[in-house]
A and B are shown apart, each in its own frame.
Chain A
Amino acid sequence: MKDTTTSFQPSPARPAPTRQVAAISWLRSNLFGSWFDTIVTLFITALLLSFVPNLIQWLFLSATYAGDDEVCRQNGGACWPFIVEKFQVLMIGVYPQDLSWRPGLAGLALLVLAGLTYTDRIRGVTLIAAWAILPIFALMMIGGAFGMQEVDQSVWGGLMLSIMLALVGVIVSIPLGILLALGRHYGSPAIKVLCVTFIELLRGVPLITILFMASVMMPLFLPPELVINNLLRIQIGMILFSSAYMAEVVRGGLQAIPKGQSEASLSLGVSSLYTVTFVIVPQALRHVLPPLIGRCIALFKDTSLVIIVGLLDFLGMIKGAALDTDWLGFQAEAYVFAAFVYWLICYSLSLYGRQLEQRGPNAHT
């Protein structure tokens, strides 16, 4: 049979733009778009060239990866065996070595839960419950419970202590901050004054002052039978400080909720308590997730201040390691490592915040 229709013949596709052309046009539009851009680009390039090669040389190329301090001194670059040698003390301080599996297990639990949270495997009530239980589990593992050998808090230290302080601080100060914000936003005049006074008092004082007061002054005023250990006092100080900031963040979220939301819930006969719990607070928190994560990052960095009141947190251990007479002269490595660890943790938090930001509105509108 004869084909009567002329079939459609597509003309050959144009060649894809080559990568080279794309790269050049990208450079042109982004880095050399105007004479001002060009100057900035050249200036920054010169600046980078002035130290980045040396930095890489020191960090990696002439660095020592195995050996002792003698080898390090000969090579002249960064001395990574020093960090390896000190790794345990940086992580858990002078915690008994034979029991180090306990904080290790707690750390593993933290990593697993963080992974589950980041990949959105657990949500809602389960998520909140898991994060509420985690610090209790960690405290029991580190301190000793269920007939495990007790480890006194005076030997808790290192990164373990920093994370513990930040984790407990965040997990307790967020609900506390929510309560303060609710009190300030919805409370009776008396409650309002109370909340505002607390928030403004704590926000008006530097954290160091609060830590000093918690560590030095609180024992002077507390009755002797109410003696609580230094670590707990400092933790309480951090929680109170952080909750004041959390409260202000949450209040911003509360203000963004239209009045119609609570009216709709109340008009259905739902109590004010349930209205606040299930209608107002979840929406308010969703609005302020990015600044809330920001406060968590800030609190984690602030834990490094506890060195001033005699706790040997991660930075304290770094400082101690840098003063070790066997490894004199390798301070820089210690601080580079410290900066890297702080950055890694804070950046992960910030990545999670960004992911939440993208997830939130898309999933619900």
Chain B
Amino acid sequence: MTPKLESSIAEGETIIEMQDVNKWYGDFHVLKDIDLTVAKGERIVICGPSGSGKSTLIRCINHLEEHQDGKITVNGTLLDKNMKNITSIRREVGMVFQQFNLFPHMTILDNLCFAPVWARNMPRAEAEETAIRYLTRVGIAEQKDKYPGQLSGGQQQRVAIARSLCMNPSIMLFDEPTSALDPEMIKEVLDVMIELAETGMTMLCVTHEMSFARSVADRVIFMDEGEIVEENAPAAFFDNPKVDRTQKFLSQILPH
């Protein structure tokens, strides 16, 4: 197992704050009184059964989903209906999806340059330079002129991570980044995420990769039926879960 990373939490600095957040899909109460404070540099793993609202929770942070009740503050900006606030938060918050969601009609390089050029008005040459730097960091610079469909799943997901990093975000959200991958490709993506964690990036990861959670996370959050049921440091969380539902969930996903 990878040795536990040093925590890089900057003392006291809050970067995400969710207070009493509630969300409904019609009559369905998907998020119930969510309270969550994330410190700068903190690495959080969110787990829980399918349909418990994990994706909805992190998608509220960059307003891909709208919460109906409560307060979300990201990087000091209150998330409301103001489009300017939403856009400025989105530029600060990168997101990696289960299905990669690369733009299939653009080359890898164009995928990476797209947002810096059109959302940050960065000159194309500078955007390319940044793009190559991040592609090199995730180890696929030589594929820059290919189209996403020509890459393996693991490579595509690494491109997706690099694409988010090109916007120089201060927070990264991961929604089950390895769930759509063949087993042999999971490690290459986790390695990139671990390396990212080492740089002190604030990360919220929805994942069931428990070894990743143990070695990287500062805190593990367990969600069920729209509630945060339990949260704890990874060692305590896995070895000594307090709540029945957590125990039951862990016994289902952990190898015995």
Contacts and interface: CB of A to CB of B under 8 A. Distances in A.
B64 A266 contact: yes
A286 B167 contact: no
B118 A278 contact: yes
Size bracket, chain B contacts: 20 to 34
Contacts of A260: 97, 99, 101
B81 interface: no
Nearest to A270: B119
Interface string A266-282: 11111100100011001
A267 B93 contact: yes
A66 interface: no
A283 B101 contact: no
B101 A364 contact: no
B217 interface: no
Interface stretch (B8-16, B30-38, B102-110, B194-202): B102-110
B90 interface: yes
A119 to B, nearest CB: 21
A364 B147 contact: yes
Contacts of A268: 90-91, 94, 114-115, 119, 163-164, 167
B149 A264 contact: no
A100 B156 CA distance: 57
A265 B114 CA distance: 9
Nearest to A259: B101
B91 A269 contact: yes
B62 A267 contact: yes
Contacts of B88: 269
A261 interface: yes
A360 to B, nearest CB: 9
A269 B116 CA distance: 9
Nearest to B98: A260
Contact of A278 (B91, B114, B120, B167): B114
Contacts of A286: 105
A364 B119 contact: no
Size bracket, chain A contacts: 20 to 34
Nearest to B160: A264
B105 A282 contact: yes
B82 to A, nearest CB: 14
Nearest to B147: A364
Interface in B67-115: 87-88, 90-95, 97, 99, 101-105, 114-115
B105 A364 contact: yes
Contacts of A150: none
Contacts of A258: 99, 101
A365 interface: yes
A263 interface: yes
Nearest to B88: A269
**Centre residue among B93, B118, B160, B167 by max chain A CB count within 10 A:** B118
Interface in A156-213: none
Interface in A239-274: 258, 260-261, 263-271, 274
A179 B132 CA distance: 36
A267 to B, nearest CB: 4
B164 A263 contact: no
B90 A269 contact: yes
B152 interface: no
A286 B149 CA distance: 15
A269 B115 contact: yes
Contacts of B120: 269
Interface string B158-169: 001001100100
Nearest to B103: A279
Contact of A263 (B91, B97, B114, B163): B97
Contacts of A283: 103-105
23 contacts: A260-B97, A261-B103, A264-B102, A266-B64, A267-B62, A267-B90, A267-B93, A268-B115, A268-B119, A268-B164, A268-B167, A269-B90, A269-B119, A269-B167, A270-B114, A270-B115, A271-B119, A274-B118, A283-B104, A283-B105, A364-B105, A365-B149, A365-B150
Given A264-B95, A270-B119, A278-B118, 9 more contacts: A265-B103, A266-B90, A267-B95, A268-B94, A268-B119, A269-B88, A269-B119, A271-B119, A279-B103
